[in-house]
A and B are shown apart, each in its own frame.
Chain A
C-alpha cells in the first residue's frame, strides 16, 4: 500500500491513475491529441506498478492487444483519440459480441471544436453503434473515479467499456486525492477455451448478438450499485439533463444567473445504455426539460424516446430548436444564453466581442528537417510540369499547408495520403501525383496503400518524411524509432527495406537537411513513369535538442545574417519561413534571433547572395 498525497494533475494523468488503482495489467495505445498523456503516465508508472505498456503501431492493434489480455482474464486499457475508434472499429464492433472476461476499458479522448483533429465525431454515438457501454466523466476527479470503476463495470457486464474524454477533461488540471493505491496483485493470464464465443462467425456470431442485446437490456439493473447519476437542486420549473463536461458549465451558469430555486439538474455519468428510468422519473417532477450536452443531441434524442415510452408529454428543449449548438465545444456563456432564453430571464451583462486578429498558424520549429525537405520539394516543383498534386497525411509535416509553403492540396485522415494519391492517379488526373507521409503514419496505416500502389502500378511518388518519432504528439517511439515505450532498445524497421519488399523499385534515400539532394531525388521520382519513393531522413530537431541537453551537450552556435551582404530581398522569409529569421523593419534587412536559432544551417542555401553565415564559415 502506498499513500499518495493530493496533487494537481491533468485529467489524462488522473485517468491513468484510475487504471492503476484498478490494477490494470496491460495498456496499449497510439498517440493522438488530446489522449497522449494517459499512456505516457502509464509508461512512467510501469516500473513501479508492474503492468505491461506499449505504444502500438495503431489503435486497432492496441485494441486487439488489450482484448487478448481481457479474453485471458486480465484487466486492460486501450488508449486513443476519438478518431482512433474508427481505426479500431473492425475489432471493437465484434468485440461487443464476444465480450470480455477481465475488465477492458477503451479510453477515447474526443475533440469538440476540432482543436487538433479533422473531425469532432461524438464517441457516444460510436458507442451506441458498436453496442459498447460508454461512461462520460465530467472533470479530472471523475476521470480518476470513473476509470477506476470502469473495470468493475466491464466485469459486471462482461463487456468492454468506452471511457469518453474531451479536451476540457484531458487537458484540465485539478487537485486529485488518489487515496490509498493498494498493491493490486497482477492476475495470471488464463485462456479458457470456448469456440462458440471466441470464434465469432456465422451461427455463433448471431447467438452472441442475441446475448449482447440481452446483456445491454439488463445492464442498468446490473449497474445499480455504481454511482453514475447525480441529482442537484429541487426547482420544478426547469429540469436540466446534462452529461460530461457540459455539467460544469451548467453549475456555473446556474450560480451566475442565481436560478437554483427554479431548476433541478440530472447529470448522467453513462449515456449508453441510456438510463431511461432515471430520466423519466426526473422528468415527471419538472415542468420542462432542457438538455445541455456537447456535440450530437444524443441524450436529448434518447430523452425524447424515454418520455414517449413512458407516455409523458413534457417539452424538451435543446439542440433541435437551435438553442444549443451541435458544432464546437460548449462554454458557460453558451449555456447561460440557453438558460436565459428558456426561462425568459432578462439579460444582465453583454460581453464585448473579441478583437479580431488573424490566427497564428503553427509552423515548423527551427532546425526542423521537414522545412528543409519541403524547401527541396519547392525547388523540385520548379523543374516539373505540370505541377504535381500534393496529397497530404497527418503529422507535423501536414504544416506544409501553412505559410510560406502552402503547397498541400488535400488532407483527409491517417494513411489517406498514399491511398488517395493512388486514386487520383487511377482517375487519370493529367498531372504528377505526390503523396507525403511521415514514419509513424506509415507504420500506422500507410503500408496497405503502399502495397496497393506498387501492386497496381500507380504512377505515384510517395515522399516519406522520416523524422524517427511521432513528433506532433510528443515524440513517442514507433517501429522506426529503435526504442520501446518503456525505453528498452528495439530493432528499427528499415523503411527502405520495407518499401523495396512491397515492390517499389524506384527508391531514393536522402538526408533531409540537404535540400538540394531532396530536390534532385524528387525531380527524378516525379518524372519517372510508375511507382516511386523518396525517403527524406532527419530526426525531429526538438527531440534531438532535448536529448542533447540531457547529455549535457552545448548548444550549436547560431548562424547570423551579415548586414553588409543582405540585400533585403526577403527570400529567407518568404520561401523558408524559419521563426529564428526575422525582419528588421527599420534596416529593411533580415536578422537571425540567436535565442531561437539552433544552428542547423539549413537556411544558408536559401540566401542567393550568401549573407547567411555560421558553422564552419563563422
Chain B
C-alpha cells in the first residue's frame, strides 16, 4: 500500500488518543507497518491534542510533515484550522461541527467566525465532510445510559465510509470487538454505524 498519513486532532478529553490507537490497531492487523506519534501530556486538560497515524513501509518518524497529511480528522473545527497546514493539497477533511472556544477567547474575538473556518477548509481540501458527531454521540450515550463518550468512534466510523481510506468497516468492527467488552461493544458498534450514516447526509 502507498504511504498514508492521517492526522487526528481535537481537544483533550475527546478521545483522540484512543481513536488513533484503534485506527492504528486496525491498520496493523492487516500486516501494514504503522507508526503513531501522539502529542499529549498537559494537553489532556482541554488543551489541543494531535495524533499522527502513519501507515506504509516507507514511514519512519512519528510526525507527519507539513503538507503531507492525506486525511485530517478533526473533532473540533478550530483544531481543524490549526492543523490545516498539515493537509496535502486536495486532501480530505472530516470535521465535527461543534466548536469549542476557550471562554476568554470568546470574549476577545481572536478566534475567527466559524464561517471562515469552513471557507478555509473548502479552499484547501478536495472534500470536507462536516459531521454533527457530538449530537449523535450524546443520543447514543443517553440510549445506553453510559458515562463514556463515543464521538471518537463516530468519527472513525465516518472515515471508513471513504473509498480509499486504509481501514474499512469490517476491519474497524473487528478491532472494536477485540477492544471492548460485550457491555460497551454494542454502543460502540452503533457509534460506528452512526458515523457512516452521517457521511451519507
Known: A8-B25, A579-B46, A595-B138. A332 touches B65 (CB 8 A): yes
Say yes or no: is A198 at the interface (Cβ < 8 Å to chain B): no
Spot the interface stretch: A49-57, A223-231, A350-358, A519-527.
A350-358
A475 and B91 alpha carbons, distance in the complex (Å): 39
Spot the interface stretch: B32-40, B125-133, B157-165, B191-199.
B32-40
Interface SS majority for chain B:
mixed
A44 and B166 alpha carbons, distance in the complex (Å): 32
Cβ–Cβ contact A363 & B67, under 8 A:
no
Cβ–Cβ contact A360 & B67, under 8 A:
no
Say yes or no: is A567 at the interface (Cβ < 8 Å to chain B): no
Say yes or no: is A281 at the interface (Cβ < 8 Å to chain B): no
Cβ–Cβ contact A362 & B35, under 8 A:
no
A362 and B13 alpha carbons, distance in the complex (Å): 11
Cβ–Cβ contact A116 & B42, under 8 A:
yes
Cβ–Cβ contact B106 & A358, under 8 A:
no
Say yes or no: is B2 at the interface (Cβ < 8 Å to chain A): no
Say yes or no: is B136 at the interface (Cβ < 8 Å to chain A): no
A234 and B102 alpha carbons, distance in the complex (Å): 53
CB-contacts of A428-479 with B (<8 A): 472
Please encode chain A, from 131 to 156, with 1 for each CB lying within 8 Å of some chain B CB and 0 for all others: 00000000100000000000000000
A585's closest neighbor in chain B, by CB? Answer: B106
Known: A248-B62, A579-B46. A352 touches B36 (CB 8 A): no
Say yes or no: is A333 at the interface (Cβ < 8 Å to chain B): yes
Cβ–Cβ contact B82 & A172, under 8 A:
no
Cβ–Cβ contact B48 & A359, under 8 A:
yes
Number of contact residues on B: which range applies? 35 or more
Say yes or no: is A208 at the interface (Cβ < 8 Å to chain B): no
Contacts of B105 in A (CB 8 A): 358
Quote the shortest CB–CB distance from B173 to chain A (angstroms).
18
Say yes or no: is A509 at the interface (Cβ < 8 Å to chain B): no
A365 and B78 alpha carbons, distance in the complex (Å): 21
Cβ–Cβ contact A360 & B28, under 8 A:
no
Cβ–Cβ contact A352 & B138, under 8 A:
no
Cβ–Cβ contact B103 & A362, under 8 A:
no
Known: A33-B42, A333-B65. A248 touches B47 (CB 8 A): no
Cβ–Cβ contact A172 & B46, under 8 A:
no
Cβ–Cβ contact A351 & B111, under 8 A:
no
Cβ–Cβ contact A355 & B45, under 8 A:
no
Say yes or no: is B104 at the interface (Cβ < 8 Å to chain A): yes
Known: A355-B120, A360-B46, A361-B102. A248 touches B82 (CB 8 A): no
Cβ–Cβ contact A175 & B28, under 8 A:
yes
Say yes or no: is B72 at the interface (Cβ < 8 Å to chain A): no
Spot the interface stretch: A16-24, A71-79, A157-165, A249-257.
A249-257
Interface CB pairs A-B, < 8 A, 19? A8-B28, A34-B41, A172-B38, A173-B36, A174-B35, A245-B61, A252-B61, A256-B65, A332-B61, A354-B66, A354-B84, A358-B102, A358-B105, A362-B12, A362-B44, A363-B102, A399-B45, A595-B138, A595-B149
Known: A8-B28, A115-B39, A355-B84. 12 other contacts (CB 8 A): A8-B25, A139-B35, A167-B41, A168-B62, A172-B38, A173-B24, A249-B63, A351-B66, A360-B48, A365-B45, A403-B103, A549-B147
* Shortest 6 CB-CB contacts between residues of A and residues of B: A248-B61, A116-B41, A362-B45, A172-B62, A173-B36, A248-B60
